[in-house]
Chain A
Amino acid sequence: MPAEGRAPAAPAKAALDVDRVSLRYATEAGIVTAVEDVSFTVRTGERLVLLGPSGCGKSTLLRAVGGFLKPASGEIRLGGAPVAAPGPDRMVVFQEFDQLLPWRTVSGNIAFALRRARGLSRAEAREVALDWAGRVGLGKFADAFPHTLSGGMKQRVAIARAFAVQPAILLMDEPFAALDALSRRRMQDELLGLCEETGATCLVVTHAIDEALHVGTRTLVMSPHPGRIAAEYDVPEVARRRGTPQFAALEAEIQARLFGGPRAAAEEVVDV
């Protein structure tokens, strides 16, 4: 049922290639393989979601794409060029609230990123930053310091900062996981709005099935220990809207897959 939805938009140009990537890291207990031989492509304009239970290596994979850790094998390419280090062509929105610089205001955080990443002048950066603060509904808080904001507002600033830099791809690491349920839904809608408005290419990591369906255009379901891609679902427009039968059907199907795998009983399962 999933695949014959609307085919992904016309010229399927690859923005990001993850090519047979394995990720390992050393712990006291020895070498842990977080991700084993994973390949996928994110096409320009697409919103790809990596969905899976904790321990499936989805966040580690996102960090590797961000350039924060090197693959043990395989290659990650952005627009054809191998990823070697972190950079503003892959802006990351993290789950944690402390990703903002506490010593800069809302507009200051956005403007600083613009100056560093896009080389804008102070005045230009400030102008663009104020515009983006307004677009995420924080116009009145442009001169507020992050510690005076709520968690949802901080995530908005981080999202505005990431969009403002106009990266080749936006990376989101469970950006709403630390928010309460109501804020989370509202933020998902707002994020969707921004994505559709800007046509941004996104790679989103989440453990919530409804978030994956609502926000993404395509979902890769990952299985843990070590992380592998277990299934792929194209999410057609109608299945992205909460409350439609298609949404419910797809959610049930993914849930069944996550719960019903051969090792399901032993796994920690997705909480929705």
Chain B
Amino acid sequence: MSDGTLPVSAATSPARPMSLSPRARQAVILVALAAIWEIYARWLGNSLLLPTFFETLTALWTATLNGELPDRTLASLSVLLSGYAIGIVLAAAITALAVLNRWGESLLSLLTSMFNPLPAIALLPIALLWFGIGASSVIFVIVHAVLWPLALACHAGFRAVPPTLRMAGRNIGLSGPSYVFALLVPAALPSILSGLRLGWAFAWRTLIAAEMVFGASARSGGLGWFIFTNRAQLETANVFAGLLAVILIGLAVEIFVFATLTRLTVQRWGMEG
């Protein structure tokens, strides 16, 4: 390079002594929260209302070892993944329609503004009416939970692709499908990823809630059902263990799937907002 400019190096904050990394700070906070929980629960001395942190861990461990929790988790995850996948396919289809023509665009913005504010769980009665009790009803509400926020995010992402980049793409001969997949999709990836993240969180919540509402007659219930039945049997430590499992799975997906995807793509490309 001869114009005397230097490449911008990423993240060059001077190292300060005695400062912890964000991860380490979070770990310290977590330990502190667990300690407060443990102390308060011991002081309260009523494990029906609030089991101690260690009782909860023990319950989690036992339920994991005897296979109940893994079974419940698998049941939940399989329903969740079906709903999530269907939601993604539908979101892709409706976004494609919106990108391709104006009627599609109006359709998408109308449908998202109508359905996005509608809590997925509110559709459960209708789902029960249409699909009966079982996985298909839950999948239906999960699809609803994923579809609208994801379609909205994708569409916003496509629309935000800079005009110069679009022209540069068409200039080198991209058109039709190659224009969409080699230009629009990667250019909109930051929005698409945040839509996927949001959709995942919505789907997960909706699933647990739906399982609690009508898990009573589902034979192979999921995590929500696990939490619900244990509450009914006053196994409060198991209830907390179920909640902990929900949190841990959410964290794991965030760290191993979404954070990794983000690091390998938009972060590496300097496209983070």
Q: A interface vs B, CB < 8 Å?
A: 63, 66, 68, 85-88, 90-92, 94, 96, 98-103, 112-113, 116-117, 137-138, 140-141, 144-153, 156, 158, 161, 165, 182-183, 186-187, 190
Contact = CB atoms under 8 A, between A and B. Distances in A.
Given A137-B1, A137-B2, A148-B8, A94 B167 contact: yes
Contacts of B174: 116
B168 A94 contact: yes
A145 B3 contact: no
Interface stretch (B73-81, B235-243, B265-273): B265-273
B101 interface: no
Contacts of A102: 187, 269-271
A145 B1 contact: no
A103 B186 contact: yes
A86 B170 contact: yes
A92 B1 contact: no
B60 to A, nearest CB: 41
Contacts of A152: 1, 3, 5
A98 B3 contact: no
Of B4, B5, B6, B173, the most chain A CB neighbours within 10 A belong to B173
A153 B171 contact: no
A64 B270 CA distance: 32
B46 interface: no
Contacts of A100: 168
A165 B9 CA distance: 30
B167 A66 contact: yes
Contacts of A144: 7
A85 B170 CA distance: 9
Contact of A86 (B171, B189, B268): B171
16 contacts: A63-B167, A66-B167, A86-B170, A99-B164, A99-B168, A117-B173, A137-B1, A145-B269, A147-B271, A148-B7, A148-B8, A150-B1, A150-B5, A156-B1, A186-B2, A190-B2
A101 B7 contact: no
A264 B239 CA distance: 81
A96 B165 CA distance: 9
A215 B223 CA distance: 70
B172 interface: yes
A156 B175 CA distance: 25
A100 B7 CA distance: 16
A91 B169 CA distance: 11
Contacts, number: 107
A87 B174 CA distance: 9
Contacts of B3: 150, 152-153, 182-183, 186-187
B172 A145 contact: no
B5 A183 contact: yes
Contact of B1 (A66, A113, A153): A153
A216 to B, nearest CB: 22
B196 interface: no
Contact of A165 (B6, B172, B178): B172
Contacts of A138: 1
Given A102-B271, A145-B268, A147-B270, A86 B167 contact: yes
Given A101-B186, A144-B7, A96 B172 contact: no
Contacts of A68: 167, 170
Given A148-B7, A152-B5, 4 more contacts: A66-B167, A101-B186, A150-B5, A190-B2
Of A103, A145, A161, A187, the most chain B CB neighbours within 10 A belong to A103
Contacts of B1: 137-138, 140-141, 150, 152-153, 156
A136 to B, nearest CB: 9
B52 to A, nearest CB: 49
